[in-house]
Amino acid sequence: MVALALRPGHEKDLEIQQLQLTLQERDRMQATKDVLCTSLTEEVEQLKLQLGATVRVCQGLLRRFDREKQRSDLVQSLSCLPEGGKLVESQASPQASSMENKLKEENQLLRQRVAYVESLNAKWQKYDSSREEYVKALCLKLKEVSPQAALGLAPANGGLLQQEIARLNRLLEEKMADCSRLSRELEEVRREDHERIQMLEQQVRRPCLVTDYGLTHATLHPPTACNLYLPLPSSAPLQVLTYVDDFNSERADRERAQSRIQSLQEKVDHLQQQLHGQVRAPFQPPEVPPVLPCGRCPPYHNKSVTATGCLPGT
């Protein structure tokens, strides 16, 4: 504890990170054990049900096979009658031969089905034994990995770790500089947009003032015989058209500025997401090698459990 207290701050942080990684690794191993136990329990129950169904089918086939065997024995006993029963045999020979052929065909089918069921049962037993061996090997591997994870082994090369930390710090500073630069550009675009909007509003108010002045003048000075034929100022329509053109151009500039602001905001968000993603690496679940699937049970595509103390990306 005294040696740990005398260490520098970055070494304490590294030790805390290693302990956190060790704790996360143990949690992952425990979760993997729980998942394996649950899946194996379900698989055992399913195999028991299938084995019971196979046993029932075999028993039914065996009973049917016994009945067919009794019928074939009866036909053979009829065919072995003495000479005195030749008349009965000759009368019953067509039915007996057809029944015998039918029984032979059914007997052959039953033998094929029994052979198929036996081979299927052997495959299930082989698959069950392979799963048990795989689970035992996995448990041994977990027991071997657990002490190493509990000790919290540090990375073999500290220089590589320091280089990776320095690289990540430089990348963080670059991303933060990009974010600040884009924020300044965004503020500048917003300021220019605000100034253009104010100037546009002032230019739009001027034709309204001219129109109001014309209406007021016409109200205060109604047309008389003297001023009825006085021409309007020739510059008023041109000024109105100029204001309209300026309004349209300023509106287009405003739309372009708004799209530029939106693109800059999206770029800032993207850079912030990249920054958070590189500072805090995502968790990847462990892998377990798949086994050979057989029958109707789906194969297990788990991931192997590894315990490393290195940072992601090194």
Q: Which of 100-104, 143-147, 256-260, 306-310 has the highest mean pLDDT?
A: 256-260
pLDDT at 55 over 80: yes
Q: Which DSSP string corresponds to 46-101?
A: HHHHHHHHHHHHHHHHHHHHHHHHHHHHHHHHHHT--GGGHHHHHHHHHHHHHHHH
Single-letter amino acid, residue 185: E
Of residues 149 and 99, the one with the higher pLDDT is: 99
Decide if 123 is inside a domain: yes
The pLDDT of residue 286 is 42
Decide if 250 is inside a domain: yes
Decide if 225 is inside a domain: no
Of 67-71, 145-149, 155-159, the poorest mean pLDDT is in 155-159
CB-neighbour burial class of residue 307 (10 A; exposed 0-12, middle 13-18, buried 19+): buried
Of 24-38, 63-77, 286-300, the poorest mean pLDDT is in 286-300
Nearest-CA neighbor of 309 among 143, 115, 156?
A: 156
268-281 confidence digits (pLDDT tens):
888 888 877 765 54
| In a shared domain, residues 134 and 190 | no
Mean pLDDT calculated for residue range 11-37: 83
Decide if 295 is inside a domain: no
What are the phi and psi torsion angles at 287 (to 5°)? -115, 145
HSE-CB of 137 using CA atoms within 13 angstroms:
10
The CA distance from 242 to 250, in Å, is 12
The pLDDT of residue 5 is 57
209-247 confidence digits (pLDDT tens):
444 444 444 444 444 444 434 444 455 556 667 777 777
- The pLDDT > 90 percentage for the chain reads 0
| In a shared domain, residues 143 and 13 | yes
What is the reported pTM? 0.25
pLDDT at 50 over 50: yes
| In a shared domain, residues 130 and 10 | yes
| In a shared domain, residues 135 and 37 | yes
The pLDDT of residue 241 is 72
pLDDT at 260 over 60: yes
70 contacts 107 by C-beta, under 8 angstroms: no
The pLDDT of residue 52 is 84
294: pLDDT confidence band, cut at 50, 70 and 90? very low
142: pLDDT confidence band, cut at 50, 70 and 90? confident
176: pLDDT confidence band, cut at 50, 70 and 90? confident
Decide if 300 is inside a domain: no
The CA distance from 274 to 278, in Å, is 6
The count of domains in the chain is: 2
pLDDT at 45 over 60: yes
The pLDDT of residue 290 is 43
pLDDT at 112 over 80: yes
Of residues 220 and 163, the one with the higher pLDDT is: 163
Mean pLDDT calculated for residue range 243-252: 79
The pLDDT of residue 147 is 62
Decide if 289 is inside a domain: no
The pLDDT of residue 113 is 83
| In a shared domain, residues 108 and 251 | no
- For the chain, what is the mean pLDDT? 70
| In a shared domain, residues 71 and 197 | no
187: pLDDT confidence band, cut at 50, 70 and 90? confident
| In a shared domain, residues 175 and 147 | no
26-43 confidence digits (pLDDT tens):
888 888 888 888 878 888
Mean pLDDT calculated for residue range 38-58: 83
| In a shared domain, residues 214 and 248 | yes
The pLDDT of residue 197 is 83
- Domain of 263, in residue numbers: 169-220+233-279
